[in-house]
Structure 1
């Protein structure tokens, strides 16, 4: 068989920023199954640069509200939070505030669907 190799190129922007901050309220049950995470009322998705920031954000999010970490990848800067809609919203607001006010990150508007 002649299999073609695919290349994945990831680019980072210079500086410190929250590139994506999105809350999905009441996602379909299939989404949790496909992601392999525990079903909950909401998903909070954050993408951060530099990527190691997700470690700080994950720690801060779980201390700011009653949420769990559904997924954390320190190589891509991806963080998925799970919990009730209000708790995920609160944790994402606090992460945005802390990173921007304390660490000088460029914040991101929290979008919702």
Structure 2
């Protein structure tokens, strides 16, 4: 299907029904069937205040705390619920804090010192690859 135009793809998908559908509004639903995958693993250091603010990581900190300059680890999973296991592995493998965790999108953001965040991200990716049999990406650092 590579190289096909949208029209050619629709013709192939709808075959005989395509003629009846021409000129009408179509409602397309995008369905994602998640596999077992760690599709993003990235460590940012040092973070700048604009990154913390745009990610909302400055919200909810205790008065007097300032996490600007700490590293940020970002990991993305499918299936999305795997993020709960990843958060558990991360906090048990290094002294990091959960900046954000979303079991509905599979996103996990960790904060802390560079070495700690790097260790946590690497341990999470290693666990998912070696123990759970997930397809994993390389851990990147900027």
Structure 2 gap ranges (5+) = 1-28, 59-66
Q: Secondary structure at the match of 1:103?
A: coil
User: Contact 1:37/1:70 (CA < 8 Å) preserved in 2?
Assistant: yes
Structure 1 residue runs of 5 or longer lacking an equivalent are 1-8
Q: Which TM-score applies when normalising by structure 2?
A: 0.69
Residue 34 of structure 1: CA displacement?
A: 2.2
Q: Which runs of 4+ in 1 moved over 4 A?
A: none
Please report the TM-score for the alignment, with normalisation by the length of structure 1: 0.86
Structure 2 residue 49 is matched with structure 1 residue 20: no
Task: Tell me the CA shift for residue 13 of structure 1.
Answer: 5.2
RMSD, aligned α-carbons: 1.6
SS at match of 1:76: coil
Structure 1 residues 71 and 11, CA gap change in structure 2 (3 angstroms): farther
Deviation at 1:31, TM superposition (A): 1.2
When Rg is computed on C-alpha atoms for both structures, the one with the higher figure is 2
Q: Which residue of 1 aligns with 2:90?
A: 61
Q: Comparing both structures, which one devotes a greater share of its residues to helix?
A: 2
Number of residue-to-residue matches in the alignment: 105
Secondary structure at the aligned position of 2:43 is classed as strand
Alignment of 1:1-113 (within 5 A): 12=32, 14-38=34-58, 39-40=67-68, 41-113=70-142
> Which protein is richer in strand relative to its size?
1
- For 1:11 and 1:22, the matched residues in 2 are separated by 26
CA distance in 2, matches of 1:45, 1:69: 10
